[in-house]
Chain A
Amino acid sequence: MADELAIVGKSLTKPDAFAKVSGQTRFADDLALPRMLFGRILRSPHPHARIVRVDTSRARALPGVLAVLTGDDLPIKFGILPVSQDEEALAREKVRYVGDPIAAVAATDEWIADEALELIEAQFTELRPIMSIEQAIAADAEPIHGTSNVHKAVALEFGDTDAAMLAAQHVREDVVFFEGNTHLPMEQHAAVAQYGADGKLTLWTSSQTPHYVHRALGKVLELPMSRIRVIATPNGGGFGGKSDIFSHELVAARLAMVTRRPVKITLTREEVFYAHRGRHPVLMKVKTGLTKDGRITAMQFRSFLDGGGYGSYGVASTYYTGALQATTYAIPRYRFEAVRVFTNKPPCGPKRGHGTPQPRFALETHFDKVAEELGLDPVELRLRNLPRPDSRTVNWLRITSCGLEACINKVVEGSGFLERRRSMPRGRGLGFAVSSYLSGAGTAIYWNDMPHSEVQLKLDRNGGVALLCGAIDIGQGSDHILAAIVAEVLGVALEDIQLTTADTDLTPIDLGSYSSRVTFMAGNAAKAAAEKVRGQLFEAVARALPCDVDDLLARDRRIVRRNQPAEGVSFAQAVQLAEAAGGVVTATGSYTPPKLAGPYKGSGVGPSPAYSFSAAVVEVDCDVRTGEVRVPEVWIAHDIGRAINPVLVEGQVEGSVYMALGEALMEEQTFRLGLHKFPSLLEYKSPTALEAPVMHTYLVETIDREGPFGAKEAGQGPLLPVIPAVANAVYNALGVRIDEIPITPDKVLKAMSDRSKRVGPASTPAFEFPPLIKADVPEEWKGK
């Protein structure tokens, strides 16, 4: 009997599917506890101001108001990154964007809570708001934090790029801009806090990162973490938008402690726009040196990130704008300089693709132009610069499996790219682009030697398997992945697995549903735990039959002899044998990524145990009189390593393409008079069902040696090539370059009537980057 896979690789119905289609899934705002109060937060009306006074006396006096908090009630600063502990649950001295929390109330209903907010009198001294990158780095700019608006500046070099540029036969430089946008999960963030008579705090929250919320609650509330329980509720969409620590979580907890009653805070849609942590606006300059025949010899990349009012994940975002250039192209010499500035806008952070869609847009449109100058087709240019499997990039990122070439071939063939793009009528065009992404960050937010993911299994006498893991399902299907892997290893059915997830009292750590890490890391931990517990079962069964342990196989809810499958016991009997021999049958598994960081400062961002690869062809249909762009068809190929559940992977790929098209064509978070121009679902444009293109999805399997059953990520990577592919397609259709995302009809029309046939930034501002950290290059790049 062969060890073929029974569950992994099959498009089975995920365990939480029926709860979701019947309306039973309980999201945070669906929770209602006895005596529950409603919290609301007063927010800054000014983009930049000093707080003079916050008088809450009239609010406190309103009947139905049980508590009012100001910054002094929660004075300890926090932040997701240890290096950026710059946020306050309620601002004390200064407000840094319209929407910055100032005070909070708990009342018996939301009408009273809203009335109470109106009664709070806050006085401010307004400061000059800083609303752009240029304003932030101007010499006379009022500092938003500390003494300068430069939050983080980095400068790295791998090999002598200047010399390589001089020697290059062809050099091109481009400047492009990517406007920021936001996650827009359909579920508005919500948290419910309860403080028990036993002095224990419980917080239910729609969070992608309950572990970090747990840490922050301990710090800010000054409670031992053992007295705090954080339960992440299923997220009604996350996309990175719920992976930070938010004011309302801390405030709900404090209000519950003060009132000794449960408190719920659900953000309004407008407040979700202020919570943000979305895509940074990034201004970029890319310069590449190549040989005549299109081989890259060096690249210099500069990015300017508009970070908003606080640090958030910004230090990591900054590095990410330069990290993955060399995982997609074989680049022998590479320089990367970046600066993130503070501005008076809601803080930016990680959105699907964290920090990499912007440079991807820069790179892929740049290489489209380079290819044209060199007289190569854009596909050939990529093929000449492919990264190699089992290699190190010049910035020390370790690539294991790499299916980029296969991805390219799939979409190019599927779309007829090479022939069709030459023969399309005016207004129609095809664009092409490629990308790569991480399967989980190789270094944790808090540097320590502990695992990034842990899973515990407990088997019961009837053959049920309890699976406990800190991972939270945000719609990506992580519950299924965990259950499928364990069921596969133990030879049981999916429905035999009972999941308990994301409950800090019960489940071992998983760092969170961010950076595409759950399938890879929690999946590996689940596999390790299942293999361990299977070992215990095999030993017990081997003793009982008797036979050799190596002779056993678990499948179809039985443990049988490999070559005599009639001989064996049921899975439940096996558990009973093991339990009789050694008590509770339980095992844990964990995953710690290999130490992959290169030998230089700043090498912590970028390494991943494995990279996914994607390629896309996008077709556009442009209205030549209005400049409107529609996308009728998309071809997308993704190197997934192995699809543990193909239907779920396709869902991730299709969702990524959708989100990318929204970003490419319409989504933007813009500001006017110091505030968000239109914090609403109507005016922040999110594509509808009518705009959904025909999609051809190709899954390329490379069976990564370190992924669970060979799997890599799918949740973010496929977004990346789509945005530049749209821009390249618009060029193919109309001969205009829109070097600025989003590509709106007014820009297209402007480019069409302008002599330059282009819309985009002309230059980057003058800024003195820190001295270059000159890192050594890996052996394989020496002398190249």
Chain B
Amino acid sequence: MLRLPRLDYLRPRSVGEATELAAKHPGAMFIAGGTDLVPNLKRRQFNATTLISLNALPDGRLVEGDIHHGVTIGARVTLDELARHEMLGSPFRALAQACGSVSTPQVRYMGTLGGNLLVDPRCNYYNQTYSWRKAVGFCLKKDGDICLVARSSPRCWAVSSSDSAPAALALNAEVTLQGVEGTRRMAAAALYRDDGIDYTSKRPDEVITTIHLPAVEGRMTSAYWKLRRRPAFDFPILGVAVAITWDGGAVREARAALGAVASHPVDITSFLAPLEGARPTEDLIAEVAEAADKPSRPLDNTDLSHYWRKRMTKVYIERALRDACGLEPLGGRLTAQVRAGAG
């Protein structure tokens, strides 16, 4: 049986206590649902000797506010709750869909939004047992000194594999962090760094306490499309989140982000500029999608071939855009792909 390394398990009763414990125990890690952390620890992907559980904290489990004033989500709200939450109706549907498309019902009952935003970037040279990694000679990300995907690369290209991260970017979400040095609030996009190892700007002692979805003015629609081999269990090998605010039948603002094509969620909002002020027709959407896949540069370190994943990017951008624009996302074409998410 694969087991956790020997470690201490601390259960602070307040966020303040949690951050202090983290500052006191270098190398300690927070654990929420444990669904990303525990498997990674069993494969010895980290050296943590202390886990600081966030599960005895009194707060962090509420969803508050509404569409007109903005919604605040506690970091420990589970993915299952979010997938079904009434507050995440049409405008914020992309986030509900993203949460509802994570892995299995079991993982969604246990996994939290905070943990999901911070999923350790994945790579199929890295998410392997210690003995497998040892046999292959280890890699930069843990215990080794080269990248096995891009051997001459000085950096790690592990893939940002969170479903909620691109949705958070597309919805212009913000996160609140609390650490020993105080509390700060930042755009979700600022939480991420384009590096497979050092992937977050969150400091080790900082706890994500809440995630905020901004107030919506007028009408907004959103959608999340996820590509993966099986309709359950699998991490995204491509995620597309789009959010559109409307002036009547015309697009006021269109935002979008890609997941699983780089080490961070990639904002592709600038590629959607041609939509702004326009009534999105099928042709216009196809045209925009055709160009918007530019920043997608998948490497051969997830499931299926990276050539194929690259080719899929525009298809999925188009489908997500159509979905958010109220067009039949598949354009009447038959499809095998189960639509992502609960929504």
Contacts and interface: CB of A to CB of B under 8 A. Distances in A.
A555 interface: no
B232 A623 contact: no
B132 A626 contact: no
Given A43-B131, A677-B124, A745-B304, A628 B3 contact: no
A694 interface: no
B230 A688 contact: yes
Interface string B1-13: 1110010000000
A744 interface: yes
Interface in B206-241: 227, 229-235
B4 to A, nearest CB: 9
Contact of A628 (B124, B132, B148, B336): B336
A264 B335 CA distance: 49
Interface string A620-644: 0111111111100000000000000
Contacts of B2: 268-269
Contact of A675 (B136, B304, B311, B315): B136
A688 B135 contact: no
A691 interface: yes
B337 interface: yes
A673 interface: yes
Given A45-B135, A46-B135, A678-B124, A691 B333 contact: no
Contact of A685 (B135, B229, B235, B308): B229
A679 B129 CA distance: 9
Interface string A667-681: 000000101111110
Given A626-B315, A666-B230, A110 B1 contact: yes
A173 interface: no
B336 A630 contact: yes
A624 B334 CA distance: 7
B321 to A, nearest CB: 14
Given A45-B134, A683-B124, A623 B334 contact: yes
A425 B335 CA distance: 12
Nearest to B232: A688
A268 B131 CA distance: 12
B312 interface: yes
A626 B312 contact: yes
B305 A746 contact: yes
A428 interface: yes
Contacts of B338: 690
Contacts of B235: 682
A780 interface: no
A266 B2 CA distance: 10
B334 A622 contact: yes
Contacts of A45: 131, 134-135
B146 to A, nearest CB: 12
Contacts of A677: 124
A621 B135 contact: no
Contacts of B227: 626
Contacts of A691: 230-231
Secondary structure dominating the interface of A: loop
Nearest to A190: B1
A314 interface: no
B109 interface: no
B333 A427 contact: yes
Nearest to A677: B124
Given A46-B135, A268-B1, A746-B304, A623 B229 contact: no
A687 interface: yes
Interface string B285-308: 000000000000000000111011
Interface in B125-157: 127-129, 131-132, 134-136, 148
Contacts of A617: none
Contacts of A745: 304, 308
B278 to A, nearest CB: 24
A679 B125 CA distance: 11
A51 to B, nearest CB: 15
A624 B333 contact: yes
Contacts of B230: 666, 685, 687-688, 690-691
A690 B231 contact: yes
A577 B126 CA distance: 72
Most buried by A among B131, B305, B307, B312: B131
Contacts of A683: 124, 303
Given A266-B1, A628-B336, A690-B232, A98 B135 contact: yes
A111 interface: yes
Nearest to A690: B231
Given A427-B334, A622-B334, A622-B336, A270 B129 contact: yes
Contacts of A628: 335-337
A680 B308 CA distance: 23
A759 B318 CA distance: 27
A206 B124 CA distance: 30
Nearest to B303: A683
Nearest to B103: A682
Interface string B305-343: 101100110010000000000000000011111100000
A541 interface: no
B135 A675 contact: yes
A133 interface: no
B328 to A, nearest CB: 14
Nearest to A685: B229
A749 interface: yes
Given A268-B129, A666-B229, A688-B233, A110 B336 contact: no
Contacts of A110: 1, 3
Nearest to A675: B135
Contacts of A627: 308
A3 B256 CA distance: 74
A714 to B, nearest CB: 27
Contact of A270 (B131, B303, B308, B335): B131
Nearest to B314: A625
Contacts of A425: 334
A682 B232 CA distance: 10
Nearest to A749: B308
A623 B131 contact: no
A626 B337 contact: yes
Interface string B50-61: 000000000000
B334 A688 contact: no
Interface string A138-174: 0000000000000000000000000000000000000
A609 B240 CA distance: 57
Given A622-B336, A749-B308, A270 B132 contact: yes
Nearest to A45: B135
B129 A428 contact: no
B334 A621 contact: yes
A98 B132 CA distance: 9
B205 to A, nearest CB: 29
Nearest to A630: B336
A624 B232 CA distance: 22
A623 B124 contact: no
A46 B308 CA distance: 31
Nearest to A109: B3
A690 B132 CA distance: 31
B335 A623 contact: yes
Nearest to A47: B135
B315 A625 contact: yes
A270 B232 CA distance: 21
24 contacts: A45-B134, A45-B135, A46-B135, A114-B3, A268-B1, A427-B333, A427-B335, A623-B334, A623-B337, A625-B335, A626-B227, A626-B336, A626-B337, A666-B230, A673-B136, A675-B132, A678-B124, A683-B124, A685-B230, A690-B232, A691-B231, A744-B304, A746-B304, A746-B308
| 4 A-B pairs closest in CB distance | A45-B135, A630-B336, A746-B308, A628-B336
Interface of B: 1-3, 6, 124, 127-129, 131-132, 134-136, 148, 227, 229-235, 303-305, 307-308, 311-312, 315, 333-338
Given A426-B334, A625-B315, A688-B231, 8 more contacts: A623-B337, A626-B335, A626-B337, A666-B229, A685-B230, A685-B234, A687-B230, A746-B305
